[in-house]
Structure 1
């Protein structure tokens, strides 16, 4: 029995990429400014009696809390990567608000193209291990 289970590297990296690509969407959901749902006729949906929030408002609040939790989990995993180059690569490639091309990132980091993709691969695996105690890892 090994101390560390063998993982399927390609599927684990795919899981990490998928999760990191969700980050901008989670940010939009968490910072959604439309507090009240507007109907097709541009009227606000009525609230329930006694000022209780309606179901759509309730769902919006729960969705925002879930989005904030997801953002925190992604940011926590990246913050806990030991290699600062891995943190920067993941931030620049997946979390940065503007579009950055790979060649821009590896030129800024003074890496060759081959070195960049090796570092990116390692960064994705490290992220998968850190995110929610390894929930993105795919075991063989």
Structure 2
């Protein structure tokens, strides 16, 4: 196995899109206390201090717990990216206001084509950082 195999960018971006488009739902399911705070540098911080999620003893794993775990994985991966990539992914997938692509690239003063190129790069970088490359698809 190669350390850096050739990546199928199209399949990888589909996986990232499928995961990140569920972000808003995951926040709603996990509850407001697990919704991360976004800092000025677009760093995501979980609200509970120890970084762990509480589980009651002998409790069956439920939807809320799974949403909390998935949010923690997404936030860990997002925080490994640079500020620019975090901003693009935040406005595209995580902002509560459902910002359109046009509004995003206008806000960042870039052309439509540049926006899509930069978003594609951010999605690939996210795939690399999510669980050590779990979302990457090889050719």
2:71 aligns with: 71
Answering whether residue 97 of structure 2 is matched by residue 123 of structure 1, we say no
1:13 aligns with: 13
Between Structure 1 and Structure 2, the one with more helix by share is 1
Secondary structure at 1:15's aligned position in 2? helix
* Distance in 1 (alpha carbons) for counterparts of 2:23 and 2:3: 32
- Deviation string 1:90-121 (CA, Å, 9 cap, x unpaired) is 00000011111111111111111111110000
| Total equivalences in the alignment | 116
2:23 aligns with: 23
2:108 aligns with: 109
Higher alpha-carbon Rg: 1
Gaps in structure 1 of 5+ consecutive residues: 33-52
Gaps in structure 2 of 5+ consecutive residues: 33-55
* Distance in 2 (alpha carbons) for counterparts of 1:4 and 1:99: 35
TM-score (norm 2): 0.76
* Distance in 2 (alpha carbons) for counterparts of 1:26 and 1:2: 34
TM-score (norm 1): 0.75
Output the aligned Cα RMSD.
2.2
- Please show how residues 15-54 of structure 1 align to structure 2 within 5 Å: 15-31=15-31
2:47 aligns with: none
Secondary structure at 2:136's aligned position in 1? coil
